[in-house]
Each structure stands twice: as C-alpha cells, then as structure tokens.
C-alpha cells in the first residue's frame, strides 16, 4: 500500500505540474490530506481530557502508523492553545466540553478518545456516539454496569464502534502466556493471583472523590486484576467474595475504597485471589498456576517493559510503547474489523463493570455474590 507520505508527494507533484488545466478547479493541501487519510486508512483521533494520561497517549500517537492526533477537547483554554502549538492541531479541531457535539460536522475527526474522570465517561461517550464518531474510552468504561450498558446501546444505535483502552491486550508477553494456556502448555488452570496497588499521593485529586471516580482503588488499579484474571484463566467468573480494609478514613472517605481483597470462582473450578489497594507499593504482579506449569508477570500492568517468566524460562517479548501499539491496533479494528486475541470492545468493558458491581456488593453484604456475565 502506498504510504501516506509518498501519496502526498505524488499527488502534490501532480497538482504543481497541472496548475492551469481548464475545469480542474482549485484543490488545497487539506483536500489532498483528506484523500491521503482515506487512501491509507489512518484513524484520525481527537483526545478528550488533556491531563497526564491524555498527554501520554498524544505522545504515543506520534509514532503510530495507522493513527494520528488531529483534535483536542478540554475545558481549559490554555491547554488547547498549548496542544495546538505542540501537536500542530488546527484551531477548528479544538473544542470544549460544552460545544464538542459540533464534531458531528467535522470530517477531519474519525474517533474521540475519552480520557476524563470515570463518572464523566457515560455522558461524554454517548454524546460522541450521537455525533457519529467512534468512541475510545479509558477504563473503567463507566462507574457501574448500568451506565456501561447505556454506552454500549448508544454506540450500537449510532452504528459506531465503542472501544476501551485495554492496552495490555496487545502486549507481547501477556499474549504469549495466553497462547501457552490455550495450547495446553500449562495444563489445567487451577489458580490466578493478581496484585494491583500503589500508595496514592495528593489527597485532593479526583481519584479520591467518589462523585468523579465512582470508588477508589478498585476503579483505578483493581480493575487490572479483574481483567487479568479473566484473560489469563480464559473464563468468566461465576461468583465473587470480597473484604475491605480501611486504615485512613480521612483520606479514603465513604465510598472511596482504600484496600479490597477479592476472590473469583470460575466454571472449571479455577479460583483467583486478588488485591486492590491505594496504600501499598511494589504490587504489580500476576501469577497463573496450572497442573503442568506456571506463568508470572512482574511488573504485569505498568507502562513497560512488562517482564515475566514461565516454567519454560524467561519471557522475552519486545517492548513497544503500549499506547502506540494500542492505537494502531484499534485503527485495524475500526477499519478492517480485525478481531484481537482479547477483545477491547464495549462488551469487554461491561463485563469488568459487572464484576466490580458484584465485588462492591460482596463487600457491603459480607456474602458470596453470583456474577452473571
């Protein structure tokens, strides 16, 4: 396939060579740019939420082959101005939270990546869908399964894709363990352990406000162990139990969990034991045990490199910036209907939300809670 750069060079040369042909009309560089995007099927992305992770995604997009940063959405005018300069974003592709519905009329934007506080995801994704744009949403997709279902329904009704930022679903060492498990190299899977946590800093940040985060550590870091248990074991849980520990009720107010231990049961008889916390460091480990072998990732979910080993030796998959791989893969999903090894669609995000709902219910009741995926 002709590269975007070569395509632009060739079509620009043609334009200069034939500037005065009668009836040709005038074509500007943006017209050529648009044709080049269509030719190369480059996913043109606007990022909503220009904080630290939004910036990380923007930087990763610079190395993408099939995705490009073309727009920005923020409630802070100074950030929009800075991004226009830094990433060469046209002013017409910049919006605030009040007027971003106008992207409906902007042909330069294919998809919006929502990277805002959790409680805002539902309304923002639904607005993106109604504007006719594909939606990519950071995890957790919403603050509960009810909201997640509404997002899935809205995107389906608008005939647009809803994808979730599960970057680890494309990570080589993670995928190698999944391959080994599917090939039977671990034997019958018996047990998974997921440890996800760190000591959170600024007590005034949005992640510690229930009205914005929808919870505490579980919504931020614990979801990695939930998702990891599912793709490592290769099944959906049928029950959960959970216990909460809170040592600092001032920092971790009502509805904001500090530490939750939770257990999952699976149809095959495999079980998972997991920890989600905002009060301990050095916790980023997955361990999968079968009757013929084992696999371990440590670190398992950080920005990389992800490291690990199995009973056969060290895992040596290459490290590429996760968000760069993720965005290129999402372009393939949207344009080519590519089916990833582990899904990253809205239904995948909804499954995690159903489990989170069940964990919170188990904490509240002290009982085993059935999970219906």
pLDDT value at 18 more than 50: no
pLDDT value at 5 more than 50: no
Query: What value does the mean pLDDT take over residues 23-30?
Result: 37
3-state secondary structure of 163: strand
pLDDT value at 19 more than 70: no
CA proximity to 48, closest of 108, 92, 93: 93
Q: What does the H/E/C string look like for 7-64? A: HHHHHHHHHHHCCCCCCCCCCCHHHHHHHHHHHHCCEEEEEECCCHHHHHHHHHHCCC
3-state secondary structure of 330: helix
pLDDT value at 29 more than 50: no
User: Which residues are catalytically annotated?
Assistant: 139, 224
- The token duo for 199 is 């000591």
How is domain 4-17+26-166 classified at the architecture level of CATH? Answer: 3-Layer(aba) Sandwich (3.40)
Residues with Cβ within 8 Å of residue 240, at least 6 apart in sequence: 262, 263, 264, 265, 355, 358, 359, 362, 368, 369, 371
CA distance 347 to 159: 15
Report the predicted TM-score, pTM, of the whole model to 2 decimal places.
0.89
Name the average pLDDT for the chain: 92
- The token duo for 373 is 């995926």
Domain boundaries, the chain: 4-17+26-166, 168-318+346-370
Q: How far apart, in Å, do the first and last CA atoms of the chain sit?
A: 41
Read off the pLDDT band of 10 (50, 70, 90): very low
CA proximity to 233, closest of 187, 282, 285: 187
CA distance 215 to 8: 48
CA distance 153 to 137: 15
3-state percent helix, strand, coil for the chain, nearest multiple of 5 = 40, 20, 40
Read off the pLDDT band of 40 (50, 70, 90): low
Q: What is the pLDDT of residues 80-127, one digit of tens each?
A: 999 999 999 999 999 999 999 999 999 999 999 999 999 999 999 999
- The token duo for 216 is 């505490």
Look at phi and psi of residue 51 and say left if phi exceeds 0, alpha if psi is from -120 to 50, else beta: beta
pLDDT given for residue 48 in this prediction: 98
What CATH fold (topology level) applies to the domain 168-318+346-370?
Dihydrodipicolinate Reductase; domain 2 (3.30.360)
pLDDT value at 314 more than 60: yes
For 187, phi then psi, to 5°, come to 75, -150
Q: What is the pLDDT of residues 202-256, one digit of tens each?
A: 999 999 999 999 999 999 999 999 999 999 999 999 999 999 999 999 999 999 9
């Amino acid at each position: 396939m002709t590269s975007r750069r070569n395509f632009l060079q060739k079509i620009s040369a043609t334009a200069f060579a034939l500037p005065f042909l009668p009836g040709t009309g005038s074509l500007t560089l943006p017209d050529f740019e648009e044709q080049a995007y269509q030719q190369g099927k480059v996913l043109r992305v606007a990022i909503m939420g220009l904080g630290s992770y939004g910036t990380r995604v923007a930087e990763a997009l610079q190395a993408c082959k099939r995705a490009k940063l073309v727009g920005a959405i923020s409630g802070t005018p100074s950030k929009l101005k800075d991004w226009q300069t830094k990433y060469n974003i046209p002013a017409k592709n910049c919006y605030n939270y009040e007027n971003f519905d106008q992207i409906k009329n902007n042909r330069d934007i294919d998809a919006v990546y929502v990277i805002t506080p959790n409680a805002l995801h539902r309304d923002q994704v639904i607005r993106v869908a109604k504007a006719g744009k594909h939606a990519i949403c950071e995890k957790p997709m919403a603050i509960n399964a009810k909201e997640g279902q509404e997002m899935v329904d809205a995107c389906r009704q608008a005939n647009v894709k809803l994808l979730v930022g599960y970057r680890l679903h494309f990570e080589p060492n993670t995928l190698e363990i999944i391959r080994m498990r599917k090939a039977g190299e671990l034997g019958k899977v018996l047990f998974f352990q997921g440890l996800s946590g760190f000591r959170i800093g600024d007590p005034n940040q949005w992640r510690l406000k229930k009205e914005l985060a929808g919870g505490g550590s579980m919504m931020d870091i614990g979801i990695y162990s939930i998702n990891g248990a599912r793709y490592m074991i290769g099944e959906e849980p049928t029950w959960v139990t959970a216990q909460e520990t809170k040592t600092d009720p001032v920092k971790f107010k009502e509805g904001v969990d500090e530490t939750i231990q939770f257990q999952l049961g699976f149809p095959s008889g495999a079980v998972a034991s997991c920890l989600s916390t905002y009060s301990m460091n050095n916790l980023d480990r997955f361990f999968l045990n079968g009757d013929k072998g084992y696999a371990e990732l440590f670190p398992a979910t950080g920005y990389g490199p992800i490291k690990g080993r199995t009973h056969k030796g060290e895992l040596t998959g290459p490290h590429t910036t996760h968000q760069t791989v993720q965005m290129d893969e999402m372009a393939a999903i949207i344009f080519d209907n590519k089916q990833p090894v582990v899904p990253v669609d809205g239904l995948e995000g909804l499954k995690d939300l159903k489990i989170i709902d069940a964990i919170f219910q188990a904490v509240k009741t002290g009982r085993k809670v059935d999970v219906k995926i």
